[in-house]
Amino acid sequence: MGAGCDRCGRRAVIAVRYSGRRLCRDHFIDFYVRRVKRELGRGRRIAGKVAVAVSGGKDSMALLDVMAEVLVPMRIEVGALAIDEGISGYRDGCLEVVRGFCAARDLPLTVLSFEDDVGASLDDIMAGGPPRGACSYCGVFRRHLLNLGAREMGADALATGHNLDDTAQTTVMNLLRGDIERMARTGPHTRVQEGLVPRVAPLRRTPEKENMLFCLLRGIPHHHAECPYSDGAHRRLHMEIVRMAEEDTPGTRHAIVNACDRIVGLRTSAAPIALGRCGTCGEPSASTTCMRCAFVAELHDSGIVGRE
């Protein structure tokens, strides 16, 4: 990168297209951390403890690092929470990265597994030829365990590593489906609902590439491997829409996320989403049987998982 940092003239490591700035290492890190602080200031106040959902990838490892830097000096406890889905040749390496980082930084780590929760690893479920794709089971079981784990850790917030690109793509997907309810559920939680640990997404205005740069500049270890069950197909259209829009008009991703927040704000002030309890497991659910229990029952019926 030829030109120098806009703030100090030292060698720039990034040209931020959507803001027209060039920044050196130190000013980029400062810019990155300030944005996370601003995002934390927008949501519900975190007081005692936050559980950070970590997968070992660049986004969640950058998040764990920056949350520890920002919150620990404020006497807010930061604990890592990882889910072992049981994906051989993939998850073990990710968990190794997480364990090493947490040990080096003296951060507590909780690991919960599908095997312990539903009685089978994702590999075992898929080997049984179930009626759904791997990501359907994975997403539902993981969300359930993240909430359970954060609650057991005594956390008053669950932080996830969703980045700007993810958030803009999800918003476009929900808009194209006309699914405003889902949009409200997937955004940061502004209300406390019994049994549900409120989610925050401090990186939702941080582009994926900037998380990668942050990891590289700070020497944060992260895992690069791609999940063997991922084909990326279901998101390809939305990724392409967001990519082309950003390419044409830098700043579009931020505009999409801002629009999402305004829509969700209108929706939230109109009527809260009513949550009851699942009749099977007792966890918060919008219907009488939560999705996790419906999927587990389906796997029992097909003989893929034994009875609990």
Binding site for ligand SF4 (CB under 6 A): 85, 134-135, 138-139, 227, 229-230
CB of 115 to ligand SF4, least distance (A): 15
Distance from chain centroid for Cα 139: 11
Q: Provide the minimum distance between the beta carbon of 132 and ligand SF4 in the complex, in angstroms, as a whole number.
A: 11
* Distance of closest approach, residue 227 Cβ to ligand SF4, in angstroms: 3
- Cβ proximity of 141 and 292 under 8 Å: yes
Burial label, 172 (beta-carbon count in 10 A; 0-12, 13-18, 19+): buried
Query: Residue 184: what are its φ and ψ, rounded to 5°?
Result: -65, -35
Comparing CB distances to ligand SF4, the nearer of 24 and 134 is 134
Do the beta carbons of residue 49 and residue 245 sit within 8 Å? no
Which residue lies nearer to ligand SF4 by CB, 40 or 203? 203
Of the pair 18, 229, the CB lying nearest ligand SF4 is at 229
CB of 306 to ligand SF4, least distance (A): 22
**Phi then psi for 173, rounded to 5 degrees?**
-60, -45
In 3D space, the residue among 248, 270, 266, 246 whose CA is nearest the CA of residue 256 turns out to be 246
3-state secondary structure at position 203? coil
Shortest Cβ 6–ligand SF4 spacing (Å): 38
Task: Give burial (CB, 10 Å; 0-12/13-18/19+) of 255.
Answer: middle
CB of 202 to ligand SF4, least distance (A): 21
Which tokens hold the place of 93? 């390496």
Q: Which is nearer to ligand SF4, 42 or 234 (CB)?
A: 234
Q: Which is nearer to ligand SF4, 230 or 288 (CB)?
A: 230
Question: Least separation, in Å, of the C-beta of 226 and ligand SF4?
Answer: 8
State which H helix or E strand residue 200 sits in: strand 199-200
Task: Give whichever of 179 and 226 is closer to ligand SF4, judged by the CB atom.
Answer: 226
Distance CA 159, CA 150 (A): 9
CB atoms within 10 A of CB 218: 15
Compare residues 12 and 52 and give the one whose CB is closer to ligand SF4.
52
